[in-house]
Amino acid sequence: MFRAGVAPLNIETLRYANNRYIPAEERLCNFCESAEIEDEFHALLKCTAYEEIRHSMFQEISTILPSFIDLLDEQKLVAMLGNPKVTKIVARGCSNILIKRNDIMYFKIIEDVINVIDETVFSLS
Protein backbone atom coordinates (compact mmCIF):
# COMPACT_ATOMS: atom_id res chain seq x y z
CA MET A 1 0.00 0.00 0.00
CA PHE A 2 2.72 2.47 0.97
CA ARG A 3 4.86 1.80 -2.11
CA ALA A 4 1.86 1.95 -4.43
CA GLY A 5 0.61 5.24 -3.01
CA VAL A 6 -2.76 3.81 -2.03
CA ALA A 7 -2.43 3.78 1.76
CA PRO A 8 -5.38 5.54 3.43
CA LEU A 9 -3.33 8.63 4.31
CA ASN A 10 -4.60 12.18 3.91
CA ILE A 11 -2.35 12.74 0.89
CA GLU A 12 -4.67 10.29 -0.91
CA THR A 13 -7.98 10.34 0.96
CA LEU A 14 -8.32 14.13 0.99
CA ARG A 15 -7.42 14.57 -2.69
CA TYR A 16 -11.08 15.29 -3.40
CA ALA A 17 -13.03 16.19 -0.28
CA ASN A 18 -16.51 17.71 -0.38
CA ASN A 19 -16.47 17.43 -4.19
CA ARG A 20 -13.53 19.79 -4.61
CA TYR A 21 -9.82 19.29 -5.20
CA ILE A 22 -7.69 19.82 -2.08
CA PRO A 23 -4.08 20.92 -2.76
CA ALA A 24 -1.43 18.56 -1.34
CA GLU A 25 -0.12 21.19 1.08
CA GLU A 26 -3.54 21.20 2.79
CA ARG A 27 -3.70 17.42 3.34
CA LEU A 28 -2.10 17.55 6.76
CA CYS A 29 -1.63 14.92 9.44
CA ASN A 30 -4.41 14.83 12.03
CA PHE A 31 -2.48 12.54 14.38
CA CYS A 32 0.39 14.78 15.48
CA GLU A 33 1.02 18.49 15.84
CA SER A 34 3.65 18.80 13.11
CA ALA A 35 1.43 20.55 10.54
CA GLU A 36 3.11 18.36 7.91
CA ILE A 37 1.48 16.68 4.93
CA GLU A 38 0.37 13.18 5.88
CA ASP A 39 2.11 11.12 3.24
CA GLU A 40 4.13 7.91 3.31
CA PHE A 41 7.34 9.75 4.28
CA HIS A 42 5.62 11.47 7.20
CA ALA A 43 3.86 8.32 8.44
CA LEU A 44 6.95 6.12 8.27
CA LEU A 45 9.61 8.58 9.40
CA LYS A 46 8.18 11.63 11.18
CA CYS A 47 4.75 11.28 12.79
CA THR A 48 5.01 11.23 16.57
CA ALA A 49 1.87 9.07 16.80
CA TYR A 50 3.90 6.14 15.47
CA GLU A 51 7.19 6.65 17.36
CA GLU A 52 7.04 3.31 19.20
CA ILE A 53 6.28 1.38 16.02
CA ARG A 54 9.02 3.23 14.14
CA HIS A 55 11.58 2.66 16.93
CA SER A 56 10.89 -1.07 16.98
CA MET A 57 10.98 -1.29 13.17
CA PHE A 58 14.26 0.67 12.97
CA GLN A 59 15.89 -1.55 15.60
CA GLU A 60 14.93 -4.66 13.67
CA ILE A 61 16.09 -3.18 10.34
CA SER A 62 19.42 -2.24 11.97
CA THR A 63 20.13 -5.89 12.74
CA ILE A 64 20.12 -6.50 8.97
CA LEU A 65 21.46 -3.11 7.81
CA PRO A 66 23.81 -1.94 10.60
CA SER A 67 24.33 1.58 9.18
CA PHE A 68 20.57 2.18 8.78
CA ILE A 69 20.24 4.40 11.88
CA ASP A 70 22.94 6.75 10.58
CA LEU A 71 21.19 7.37 7.25
CA LEU A 72 19.33 10.57 6.43
CA ASP A 73 15.55 10.18 6.49
CA GLU A 74 15.32 10.19 2.68
CA GLN A 75 17.95 7.44 2.53
CA LYS A 76 16.10 5.46 5.20
CA LEU A 77 12.94 5.56 3.11
CA VAL A 78 14.82 4.30 0.05
CA ALA A 79 16.36 1.49 2.11
CA MET A 80 13.02 0.59 3.67
CA LEU A 81 11.08 0.47 0.42
CA GLY A 82 13.83 -0.73 -1.89
CA ASN A 83 15.78 -3.39 0.00
CA PRO A 84 14.25 -6.87 -0.22
CA LYS A 85 16.11 -7.93 2.93
CA VAL A 86 13.85 -5.73 5.08
CA THR A 87 10.56 -6.08 3.16
CA LYS A 88 8.79 -8.19 5.81
CA ILE A 89 9.90 -5.90 8.64
CA VAL A 90 8.69 -2.80 6.81
CA ALA A 91 5.43 -4.47 5.74
CA ARG A 92 4.71 -5.35 9.38
CA GLY A 93 5.60 -1.79 10.43
CA CYS A 94 3.31 -0.29 7.77
CA SER A 95 0.50 -2.59 8.85
CA ASN A 96 0.98 -1.62 12.50
CA ILE A 97 0.99 2.08 11.58
CA LEU A 98 -2.30 1.73 9.67
CA ILE A 99 -3.86 -0.26 12.53
CA LYS A 100 -2.83 2.38 15.06
CA ARG A 101 -4.04 5.14 12.71
CA ASN A 102 -7.48 3.49 12.52
CA ASP A 103 -7.58 3.00 16.29
CA ILE A 104 -6.79 6.68 16.89
CA MET A 105 -9.28 7.80 14.25
CA TYR A 106 -12.13 5.68 15.63
CA PHE A 107 -11.31 6.66 19.21
CA LYS A 108 -11.65 10.32 18.17
CA ILE A 109 -15.02 9.61 16.53
CA ILE A 110 -16.30 7.81 19.64
CA GLU A 111 -15.01 10.64 21.82
CA ASP A 112 -16.86 13.18 19.64
CA VAL A 113 -20.09 11.17 19.83
CA ILE A 114 -19.82 10.96 23.62
CA ASN A 115 -19.26 14.73 23.81
CA VAL A 116 -22.37 15.37 21.69
CA ILE A 117 -24.41 13.04 23.90
CA ASP A 118 -23.08 14.75 27.03
CA GLU A 119 -23.92 18.19 25.63
CA THR A 120 -27.43 17.05 24.66
CA VAL A 121 -28.11 15.52 28.07
CA PHE A 122 -26.72 18.61 29.81
CA SER A 123 -28.90 20.94 27.72
CA LEU A 124 -32.02 18.86 28.49
CA SER A 125 -31.51 19.02 32.25
| 1 assigned to some structural domain | no
Domains of the chain: total? 1
Q: Which residues contact 8 (CB under 8 A, 6 or more apart)?
A: 1, 98, 101
Q: Is 95 part of any domain?
A: yes
**112: helix, strand or coil:** helix
CA distance 89 to 61: 7
Is 114 in contact with 60 (CB distance < 8 Å)?
no
CB atoms within 10 A of CB 6: 9
What is the pTM for the complete model shown? 0.76
- pLDDT exceeds 70 at position 122: no
Q: Which domain holds residue 113?
A: 10-124
- Is 56 within the bounds of a domain? yes
Within-domain flag for 63: yes
- pLDDT per residue over 4-63, tens digit each? 445 779 888 888 777 889 899 999 999 999 999 999 999 999 999 999 999 999 999 999
